[in-house]
Amino acid sequence: MPAHLRKYDEPGDTHFWTISCRRRLTFFHDDGMKRIVVDGLRVLQQRLSVCLVGYVIMPDHVHVIVYPHARENDTPIPVSSR
């Protein structure tokens, strides 16, 4: 991660992620690649029980809004490694 960017992982916060392709290549223009992204987000939901608020798949990047709390538990799930 670039040094000028800061990480915030406050308990109870919703997180906005942007996942970009290397060199802004357009990997996600293909429906098959979009399905891989959606399947990966489903795995994130199922394995970690996080609440996926929404996502947008663009040709060269993906935006994700996630609320890192297990549905059955009030304990926040950390999303950054410090």
**Is residue 62 domain-resident?**
yes
**Is residue 76 domain-resident?**
no
**Is residue 27 domain-resident?**
yes
- pTM strictly above 0.75: no
**Is residue 73 domain-resident?**
no
pLDDT score, position 49: 75
**Is residue 78 domain-resident?**
no
Task: Give DSSP secondary structure letters for 3-37.
Answer: TT------TT--EEEEEE-GGG--GGGSHHHHHHH
**Is residue 2 domain-resident?**
no
pLDDT score, position 40: 93
Among 57, 60, 54, CA closest to 20: 60
pLDDT score, position 31: 92
pLDDT mean by block of 10 residues, the chain; 82 residues: 70 83 88 93 85 93 86 66 51
Query: How many separate domains does the chain show?
Result: 1
**Is residue 38 domain-resident?**
yes
Its domain, for residue 57, covers 15-67
